[in-house]
Amino acid sequence: MARLKVGVLFGGSSEEHPVSVKSAREVAKSLDIEKYEPFYIGITQSGAWKLCDGPDTDWENDGSRPAVLSPDSSVHGLLVLEKGQYETISLDVVLPVLHGKLGEDGAIQGLLELSGIPYVGCDIQSSALCMDKSLAYTVVSSAGIATPNFWIVTADEIPDPDLLTYPVFVKPARSGSSFGVSKVSKKEELLSAVETARQYDSKVLIEEAVVASEIGCAILGNDSDLIAGEVDRVALSHGFFRIHQEDAPETGSENSTFIVPADISEESRSLVQETAKAIYRTLGCRGLARVDLFLKEDGTVVLNEVNTLPGLTSYSRYPRMMAAAGLPLADVIDRVVSLALTER
């Protein structure tokens, strides 16, 4: 039986480029090469696309060739520049291991739709919706699911610090891995925090601080046929969760540890999983996503955010939660590829 030709996209021009490369390395370790023939397409931080042997430390220079994903659906694959001419490589499916802007926001999904190639994960609409926290909150809230109170600050707006009750969190509306996020404990810190967030997005969110445990739930599947991984809890010693910005996250976080399964009651665990599934369906997610939630002392569950292509690194939460539920990353890949080929 012929192997499936899988295009693995990684890198990208967002601030989450290094995380994406690390995720792709774990995917490369887990791909069953008896089933799949992988084609690794790295996107540099400047936006150049390169077909390479894999996401190793020198992938940008080690024999890589310029390549583009053809938007012409009759090509159904890659155009690779070789000795002044373009060679065509057909692909059966694409696994976009991309995080953040131009990876999880619907941009690459739009190109994949034009290409006609099946791809893993959320479509254009759900990717864009989940990437913008204010839009995700609005839609989820309309479905009767609790979200934090928030205020939008536009590009030319100066918020009035006297109108808020502190502490609050200030964050880019459309970014990930806690880049540009600040906890503001007093009004004198607000405007500086807004400027920090604006380094990553012109649209800024001011969000109430929810007093609760940070809980995550990994979801896999489509529509009514969903699998929830084990619930985790992020235990913080101080500050807030920002492991992907740390110098050596592979050796452990500076301020956080992960408890999997979460040390919560069975009733709370079930509520978290069912709420995560409801949010996933409400936002139109497909394939996989990590739903981050707050669990309050009174048992209330509140949405934090949804990651439509969660980190898959050696220290990431999604693969850890799925592995705890009996699905190692190799099995997760098999399932999401199968969904991409059968459900579109």
Q: Categorise residue 121: left if φ over 0, alpha if ψ from -120 to 50, beta otherwise.
A: left
Given a contact cutoff of 8 angstroms between Cβ atoms, the answer to whether 169 and 209 are in contact is: yes
Among the listed residues 22, 50, 101, 277, the single catalytic one is 22
Task: Tell me, yes or no, if 200 is annotated catalytic.
Answer: no
Cis bond leading into 167, ω under 30°? yes
Q: Is 161 exposed, middle or buried (0-12, 13-18, 19+ CB in 10 A)?
A: middle
Nearest CA among 253, 206, 227, 235 for reference residue 295: 235
Among the listed residues 99, 133, 203, 277, the single catalytic one is 99
Nearest CA among 239, 211, 217 for reference residue 305: 217
Task: Tell me, yes or no, if 250 is annotated catalytic.
Answer: yes
Tell me the C-alpha distance between 49 and 326, whole Å: 35
- Give the DSSP per-residue string, 289-319: EEEEEEE-TTS-EEEEEEESS---STT-HHH
Given a contact cutoff of 8 angstroms between Cβ atoms, the answer to whether 27 and 95 are in contact is: yes
* Position 101, amino acid: K
Given a contact cutoff of 8 angstroms between Cβ atoms, the answer to whether 60 and 42 are in contact is: yes
Tell me the C-alpha distance between 199 and 46, whole Å: 17
| Helix H or strand E segment including 201 | none
Among the listed residues 290, 317, 320, 335, the single catalytic one is 290
In this structure, the strands spanning 49-52 and 36-43 are antiparallel
Task: Tell me, yes or no, if 317 is annotated catalytic.
Answer: no
Task: Tell me, yes or no, if 3 is annotated catalytic.
Answer: no
Among the listed residues 119, 137, 315, 318, the single catalytic one is 315
Number of Cβ atoms within 10 Å of the Cβ of 307: 23
Task: Tell me, yes or no, if 140 is annotated catalytic.
Answer: no
Among the listed residues 25, 233, 244, 269, the single catalytic one is 244
Among the listed residues 83, 84, 188, 250, the single catalytic one is 250
Task: Tell me, yes or no, if 22 is annotated catalytic.
Answer: yes
Among the listed residues 94, 311, 317, 335, the single catalytic one is 311
Among the listed residues 7, 8, 15, 19, the single catalytic one is 19
User: Which residues are annotated as catalytic?
Assistant: 19, 22, 99, 244, 250, 290, 311, 315
